Amino acid sequence: MTEAGYPIDGCFQAAVEPWTMKIAYYMPFKPPDHLNPSGDLVTGRELQEFLAGQDHRLDLVSSLRSRWVYWKPHHLIRHWSEARRVCSALQKEPADLWLTYHTYYKAPDLLGPVCTKKLRLPYVIFQGIYSTKRRRSVKTLPGFILNRKALRSAQMVFANKKKDEKNLRRLLPGTRVRYIAPGLRPAQFPFDSHKRQEVRANWRAADKQVVLSTAMLRPGVKTESISQVIKSCAELHRLGHKLLLVVIGDGRTRPLLEDEARKNLGSDCLFLGRIARAELFHYYSAADLFAFPGIEESLGMVYLEAQSTGLPVAAYDDWGASEAVINGQTGLLTPASRPEEFTASIKQLLNNPELRTKMGKEATQHILRHHDLNKNYALLSAQLEEIVRSQLSGQV
- Distance between CA atoms of 234 and 263, rounded to whole angstroms? 9
DSSP H stretches of helix in 169-288 = 193-203, 221-238, 254-265, 280-286
User: Is the domain of 135 the same as that of 212?
Assistant: no
| 115: CATH | 3.40.50.2000
- Distance between CA atoms of 372 and 388, rounded to whole angstroms? 25
What was the pLDDT predicted at 18?
55
Which DSSP helix (H) or strand (E) runs through 386? Answer: helix 373-395
Strands 3-8 and 11-16: antiparallel
pLDDT band at 20; cut points 50, 70, 90: confident
What was the pLDDT predicted at 306?
98
pLDDT(10) > 90: no
User: Is the domain of 212 the same as that of 170?
Assistant: no
Within 13 A of 61's CA, how many CA atoms are on the CB side? 33
Q: Which residues contact 155 (CB under 8 A, 6 or more apart)?
A: 122, 123, 124, 176, 387
What is the gyration radius of the CA atoms in the chain, in angstroms? 23
User: Is the domain of 151 the same as that of 232?
Assistant: no
Which DSSP symbol is given to 249? B
Q: How many helices (H) and strands (E) does the chain have?
A: 14, 14
**Boundaries of domain holding 134:** 3-183+373-395
| Beta carbons of 165 and 139 less than 8 angstroms apart | no
- Distance between CA atoms of 90 and 290, rounded to whole angstroms? 46
pLDDT(6) > 80: no
User: Is the domain of 300 the same as that of 166?
Assistant: no
User: Is the domain of 22 the same as that of 139?
Assistant: yes
Looking at the DSSP bridge assignments, the partners of residue 211 are 245, 289
User: Is the domain of 318 the same as that of 190?
Assistant: yes
User: Is the domain of 122 the same as that of 265?
Assistant: no
Q: Which residues contact 393 (CB under 8 A, 6 or more apart)?
A: none
- Distance between CA atoms of 161 and 138, rounded to whole angstroms? 27
- Distance between CA atoms of 121 and 82, rounded to whole angstroms? 17
- Give tens-digit pLDDT for 98-156: 999 999 999 999 999 999 999 999 999 999 999 999 999 999 999 999 999 999 999 99
pLDDT(363) > 90: yes
DSSP H stretches of helix in 93-181 = 111-119, 141-153, 162-168
What was the pLDDT predicted at 223?
97
| Beta carbons of 182 and 323 less than 8 angstroms apart | yes
- Of the two residues 396 and 56, the one the predictor is more confident about is 56
pLDDT(41) > 90: no
pLDDT(7) > 80: no
Closest CA to 125 of 185, 187, 168, 85: 168
pLDDT(207) > 60: yes
| Beta carbons of 86 and 111 less than 8 angstroms apart | yes
pLDDT band at 51; cut points 50, 70, 90: very high
Handedness of CA 47, 49, 52, 54 (dihedral sign): negative
pLDDT band at 8; cut points 50, 70, 90: very low
Mean pLDDT on 341-367:
97
Within 13 A of 27's CA, how many CA atoms are on the CB side? 19
Within 13 A of 202's CA, how many CA atoms are on the CB side? 12
pLDDT band at 2; cut points 50, 70, 90: very low
- Tell me whether residue 334 is exposed, middle or buried, using C-beta atoms within 10 angstroms of its C-beta: 0 to 12, 13 to 18, 19 or more: buried
User: Is the domain of 219 the same as that of 363?
Assistant: yes
Looking at the DSSP bridge assignments, the partners of residue 313 are 290, 331
| Amino acid letter, 56 | H
Handedness of CA 258, 261, 263, 267 (dihedral sign): negative
What was the pLDDT predicted at 72?
85
| Beta carbons of 346 and 227 less than 8 angstroms apart | no
pLDDT band at 17; cut points 50, 70, 90: low
User: Is the domain of 191 the same as that of 179?
Assistant: no
Mean pLDDT on 255-266:
97
| Beta carbons of 218 and 294 less than 8 angstroms apart | no
- Distance between CA atoms of 268 and 302, rounded to whole angstroms? 22
Mean pLDDT of the chain: 91
- Give tens-digit pLDDT for 303-321: 999 999 999 999 999 898 9
User: Is the domain of 160 the same as that of 91?
Assistant: yes
| Beta carbons of 29 and 107 less than 8 angstroms apart | yes
What was the pLDDT predicted at 304?
96
pLDDT band at 208; cut points 50, 70, 90: very high
User: Is the domain of 64 the same as that of 192?
Assistant: no
User: Is the domain of 238 the same as that of 352?
Assistant: yes
Mean pLDDT on 338-348:
97
| Beta carbons of 308 and 189 less than 8 angstroms apart | yes
pLDDT > 90 in the chain, percent: 83
- Give tens-digit pLDDT for 226-255: 999 999 999 999 999 999 999 999 999 999
- Of the two residues 294 and 55, the one the predictor is more confident about is 294
Which DSSP symbol is given to 39? H
Domain total of the chain: 2
- Distance between CA atoms of 198 and 211, rounded to whole angstroms? 17
